[in-house]
Structure 1
Amino acid sequence: MVSPSFPVIEVLNSMADGKKYITSEELGKHNKPGDLWISIQGKVYNVTEWAKVHPGGDIPLLNLAGQDVTDAFIAFHPGTAWKHLDKLFTGYHLKDYQVSDVSRDYRKLASEFAKAGMFEKKGHGVIYSLCFVSLLLSACVYGVVYSTSFWVHMFAGALLGLAWMQIAYLGHDAGHYQMMATRGWNKFAGIFIGNCITGISIAWWKWTHNAHHIACNSLDYDPDLQHLPMLAVSSKLFNSLTSVFYGRQLTFDPLARFFVSYQHYSYYPIMCVARVNLYLQTVLLLISKRKVPDRGLNIIGTLVFWTWFPLLVSCLPNWPERVAFVLVSFCVTGIQHVQFTLNHFAANVYIGAPKGNDWFEKQTSGTIDISCSSWMDWFFGGLQFQLEHHLFPRLPRCHLRSISPIVRELCKKHNLPYTSLSFYDANVTTLKTLRTAALQARDLANPAPPQNLVWEAFNTHG
């Protein structure tokens, strides 16, 4: 139904097919929370009210508002979602709707995967992972409760960290609706394994992760690159950009200059304790005034974690061992934080809103795959195929390796980058990126504003 507030525009009623048309320029004017339109396959939809209840949150719709978003819609939605669009149709079609050769091939590929049932065939990886995680957690609890050895306790802490890594992959799968057969069961799995076992809210993860996928490697739209004052992957962040996601300035002040100047040294230590910030981000979101899906369940799940985890730590004989146990578990989990940053820190970045008509190109530009043997797939949780995952986020991880050659060929066909590095080379490349920005930060010819917003450290995650 057409919004009554729709301004006077050029509507081409005289077209031979009898359809009403608007231009992309006119569509682009409907890009605000109270007036939000998008186009899918050339049909224009009013999603102003739908954004308030959209399962993926309002951020993806706001970031792509006023554009054709066909490729992004295909990437994130099953075939059953198309039938829900009719009630949002404005009656208008996009006059200058065009499909690039890259998008045409991408859509064809997505259609072929769907016809083959690949989005529904999840394999047995979830069962294997759950059994592995159960074994790790059981061994951890046994080592803490039934042993008096310091080294056994430290080994138990390492097992807990390894379990958290595997649980994070399962939570990621659940968040993308890849883990269970239905959306409801995926929600339950996400809250249980995310909030209850790791203490990190699945609501917080979906809020940030959906924004990351849509605006991959945009310095002002992608929260996964907004880590000031501790880290900066590009000198463009030295201009104190405004984070569209957080709604505040990412201030590059003297404090940020100091930390960033040594970030190639502090990178690994920061990753070891990055989990602390994720706990803080969970709390800040759950007590915030913004609308949080299933806030009550997320709070209950988080409280479950902060019941069993301190109780487990209290079973250790003294405070030095308790502190060491927690640090060991955090350091092991820090390997995963490194994994996540390797996929994007050294890739190309840009400033500005994501575009709906260069979906494939932006994913190839902003992602880095990690090459490894198939027997190491469990260690990376499928996310070593970062490009494949970004292009097809609903595809279960068991298929990512098999589609990798297909994606590589498609990139080659359209002269687009397909970057795949070994774990070692990815670390080296990331450190070089951080070092380059660090040396630029030391350039006193570009003085930072005389501010000192330490709180910014807690309002970005890393």
Structure 2
Amino acid sequence: MADEKKYISEEDLKKHNKPTDLWISIQGKVYNVTDWAKQHPGGDIPLLNLSGQDATDAFIAFHPGSAWQYLDKFFTGYYLRDFEVSEVSKDYRRLASEFSKAGMFDKKEHVVIYSLCFVAMLFVSCICGVLCSNSFWVHMGSGALLGFAWVQISYLGHDSGHYNMMTTKGFNKLAQILSGNCLTGISIAWWKWTHNAHHIACNSLDYDPDLQHLPFFAVSSKLFHSITSRFYGRELTFDPVSRFLVCYQHFTFYPVMCVARVNLFLQTFLLLLSKRRVPDRALNILGILVFWTWFPLLVSCLPNWTERVLFVLASFSVTSIQHIQFCLNHFSANVYVGSPTGNDWFEKQTSGTIDISCSSWMDWFHGGLQFQLEHHLFPRLPRCHLRKVSPVVRELCKKHNLPYRSLSFFEANVQTIKTLRAAALQAQDLLWEAFNTHG
């Protein structure tokens, strides 16, 4: 019969896992996304990481219902033989459907307006403190306010990167450039590139760029074997310098976090000046130039170099709160080596994330990221709903015997330092072994 369905096996699908031959399966239908990967708004990394696999759960997580209509043009005509859906995936898809029918992905409440007003107040207070006072302590306080404004504006940038927090896509892109490039000096293009890869390959030591911090940090002794970063396309070399720094990482963690923003600036420049295809490169560069115009000008208004340096350090130190929080969400969770797999996508998210428990009145402080598992499972869900869905997610994890870890901010810090210390002690053993071997 002419309309008889054609099938391929999972093994056949796995063969199409290269940039020049990239197939995925969604709901049992097989799609050729080789050419689309280059135009994919989320970048090619998520598609490459799930190439040759079923990607249904990830597709549901990252795309609105309107995206399904665009799949047909990529359909190969093949269906996946013996296609089955696990019980946990069935429950996850049911939840996603219920949230969608309830309009939760579209209802953003007034978080954006409140956050913008708060950020504007912080920026104005900072500028007034620098320009209208001669007090050293007011200047330092202004630096701290600037850092706190960067934290809050980054939460908005994060929101705009996952869903349209503004009324149109155009306004949303404008919000991204303003919140990321112009106000914080960190390119939204760089954020999308790394953050989408992180979500897909949560806590994979060789695929998740957010766990690849050598020579300063190693969350697992598996990084001592100089594994290859599939994200950066280079070896994560565990050389003598890395070994020495990792030996003391549980002591250097907080000091390094205080200046971690420097690395984000560096990564922004490396991407925008690279040969990689960068969406809206010119717009991103323009936004970065705006930041590197107003920020040095503001700092130059301070009376002397001592205050200028301390002002910058104060602002960077306050932003460490955000850097630390992200580490708390992932560093002491389970890690693995290898590519992410689509058929246990839900399980990987529960394994690689840790929630931070707090009172509802502190939600503004954490920007929604305290509900890290809920965010990873439903990245398009506005942060105002994360607390509401948390009990449902907890019950789903309990039903399928999956971890749901929620620690207080203090407990999460303790657990993170324990993780870093455990890896540091293993690195010290290697250091002494090398010393005894070579004298």
- 1:44–1:89: 8 Å Cα contact kept in structure 2? yes
2:331 counterpart residue number = 345
Q: Is the 8 A contact 1:364 1:387 kept in 2?
A: yes
Using the aligned pairs only, state the percent identity. 77
1:302 alignment partner in structure 2? 288
Deviation per CA, 1:204-229, whole angstroms, max 9, x where unpaired?
A: 00000000000000000000000000
**Structure 2 segments unaligned to the other structure (5+ residues):** none
Q: C-alpha deviations, 1:317-362, integer Å up to 9, x for none?
A: 0000000000000000011100111000000000000000001100
CA deviation after TM superposition for structure 1 residue 178, in Å: 4.2
Match of 2:204 in 1: 218
Deviations 1:356-384 (A, max 9, x none): 00011000000000000000000000000
Structure 1 partner of 2:309: 323
Answering whether residue 51 of structure 2 is matched by residue 65 of structure 1, we say yes
Residue 138 of structure 2 is aligned to residue 156 of structure 1: no
Q: Where does residue 238 of structure 2 map in the other structure?
A: 252
One-letter amino acid of the structure 2 residue matched with residue 199 of structure 1? G
Q: CA–CA distance in 1 between the matches of 2:392 and 2:302?
A: 51
Counterparts of 2:221 and 2:164 in 1: how far apart (Å)? Answer: 37
Letter of the 2:45 partner, please give it: I
| Residue 128 (1) aligns with residue 108 (2) | no
4+ runs of 1 displaced by more than 4 Å?
445-448
**SS of 1:442 mapped into structure 2:** helix
* Match in the other structure for 2:219: 233
C-alpha distance in structure 2 between counterparts of 1:80 and 1:447, whole Å: 58
RMSD between aligned residues: 1.3
Q: Aligned partners of 2:231 and 2:303: how far apart in 1? A: 44
1:360 corresponding residue in structure 2: 346
Task: Give 1:54's aligned residue.
Answer: 40
Give, in whole Å, the separation in 2 of the partners of 1:263 and 1:178.
Answer: 38
Identify the residue that residue 17 of structure 2 maps to in structure 1: 31
Counterpart in the other structure of 1:44? 30
Deviation of 1:188 after TM superposition, in Å, equals 1.2
Give runs of aligned pairs for residues 51-450 of structure 1, distance below 5 A.
Answer: 51-444=37-430, 447=434
SS at match of 1:98: coil
3-state SS of paired residue (1:343): helix
Query: Judging changes above 3 Å, is the alpha-carbon distance between structure 1 residues 446 and 290 closer, same or farther for their aligned structure 2 residues?
Result: farther
Instruction: Tell whether the 8 Å contact from 1:177 to 1:183 is kept in structure 2 after alignment.
Output: no
State the distance in 2 between where 1:348 and 1:422 align. Answer: 18
Give SS of 1:291's match: coil
Q: 1:251 to 1:53 in 2, by over 3 A?
A: same
**Distance (whole Å) between structure 1 residues aligned to residue 229 and residue 198 of structure 2:** 13
- Which amino acid counterpart does residue 420 of structure 1 have in structure 2? S
Q: How many angstroms apart in 1 are the aligned matches of 2:165 and 2:268?
A: 22
Does structure 2 conserve the Cα–Cα contact (< 8 Å) formed by 1:76 and 1:393? yes
Deviation of 1:447 after TM superposition, in Å, equals 4.6
Which amino acid counterpart does residue 255 of structure 1 have in structure 2? V
In the alignment, the residues of structure 1 paired with residue 81 and residue 404 of structure 2 have an alpha-carbon distance, to the nearest angstrom, of: 34
- 1:265 maps to amino acid: F
**Helix, strand or coil for the counterpart of 2:25?**
strand
Task: Check conservation: 1:122, 1:178, Cα contact below 8 A.
Answer: no
Q: CA deviation at 1:18?
A: 1.7
How far residue 182 of structure 1 moved from its aligned partner, in angstroms, is: 2.8
Gaps of 5+ in 1: 1-12, 449-462
Whichever residue aligns with residue 281 of structure 1, its letter is Q
Q: Which amino acid aligns with 2:198?
A: H
Task: Report SS of the residue matched to 1:36.
Answer: strand
Helix, strand or coil: the match of 1:51?
Answer: helix
Shift of 1:186: 1.7
Cα distance in 1, alignment partners of residues 378 and 218 from structure 2: 28
For residue 358 of structure 1, give the secondary structure of its aligned residue in structure 2: helix
CA contact (8 A) 1:178 1:396 kept: no
Q: Deviations over 1:190-244 (max 9, x none)?
A: 1111000000000000000000000000000000000000000000000000000
* Letter of the 2:291 counterpart: F
- The answer as to whether partners of 1:178 and 1:395 remain within 8 angstroms in 2 is no
- Alignment partners' CA distance in 1, 2:434 and 2:17: 36
For the Cα contact (< 8 Å) 1:230–1:263, is it kept in 2? yes
Deviations 1:140-199 (A, max 9, x none): 000000100000000000000000000110000011124223332221111111000000
The alpha-carbon distance between structure 1 residues 446 and 201, as it changes in their structure 2 partners (threshold 3 A), is: farther
How far is the alpha carbon of 1:446 from its aligned partner?
6.1
CA distance in 2, matches of 1:347, 1:60: 21
